[in-house]
Amino acid sequence: GAGVSQSPRYKVAKRGQDVALRCDPISGHVSLFWYQQALGQGPEFLTYFQNEAQLDKSGLPSDRFFAERPEGSVSTLKIQRTQQEDSAVYLCASSLGGGTYYEQYFGPGTRLTVT
């Protein structure tokens, strides 16, 4: 079946540009997560949605990062005025429910390079 998809797969941005990264979760999955994975590191949590509600954004590194999921399905992570330290792979994950029992299914990620 269809998994989590993300677009674009690769994005090169000049420092100061705004970028938007898209995530299409598995159909029917209530929960959606964004993670940031720097080179050689494990993913780090950015933000979490349950349906359209953003319940946790404690991991967003600055107010330049903004995420939305207006209809409880597709989500967009926006980064304003990109900086070099924003270069990373951005992973989206979805899970069937909001409880701790549910495993998360990850998309292939968007590799962002800021030059």
Partner 1 sequence: AQSVAQPEDQVNVAEGNPLTVKCTYSVSGNPYLFWYVQYPNRGLQFLLKYITGDNLVKGSYGFEAEFNKSQTSFHLKKPSALVSDSALYFCAVRGGQTGANNLFFGTGTRLTVIP
Binding site for partner 1 (CB under 8 A): 3-4, 31, 33, 35, 40-45, 48, 55-56, 59, 91, 93, 98-101, 103-109
Nearer residue to partner 1 within complex by CB, 66 or 105: 105
Minimum CB–partner distance for residue 55 and partner 1 (Å): 7
Minimum CB–partner distance for residue 60 and partner 1 (Å): 12
Minimum CB–partner distance for residue 70 and partner 1 (Å): 20
CA atoms of 71 and 81, how far apart (whole Å): 26
Minimum CB–partner distance for residue 14 and partner 1 (Å): 24
